[in-house]
Amino acid sequence: MTPAPSPRVRRLAETGRAPVGFLIDGQPASALAGDTLLTAILANVPALRQSEFGPEPRAGFCLMGACQDCWVWQKDGPRLRACSTPVTDGLHILTQPPETWP
């Protein structure tokens, strides 16, 4: 049995901020207040999403809101740019486009 992949980001500092709970594709995740959604996601899972152009996992590219590589969706549909959106308590994000949802 292959172990689950490790998160891409490991927090080394600023660990004293308030915890924030949210969901990634229905799975519980945690972050710290003030984290961007991209940081919060990558601190919990190894990739942001699968590429729509091939089998490679994606983890964001520019990390400053210029490249369009970090879009995710809220459970109720609207898109969010993960690199510039603060994570909020109770947020439920989906990492694949709505047309792939069951």
pTM: predicted TM-score of the whole model, two decimal places: 0.84
> Residue 21: is its pLDDT beyond 90?
yes
Query: Is 3 among the domain residues?
Result: no
Q: What is the mean pLDDT of residues 30-59?
A: 88
pLDDT of residue 14: 84
C-alpha dihedral sign at 70, 15, 30, 19 = negative
Query: What mean pLDDT is reported for the chain?
Result: 86
Domain span at 75: 19-100
Quick check: is 8 in a domain? no
What pLDDT, on the 0 to 100 scale, is given for residue 73?
92
| Structural domains counted in the chain | 1
C-alpha 37: how far from chain center = 6
CATH of residue 86: 3.10.20.440
| Mean pLDDT on 9-32 | 91
| CA distance linking residue 23 with residue 102, whole number of Å | 17
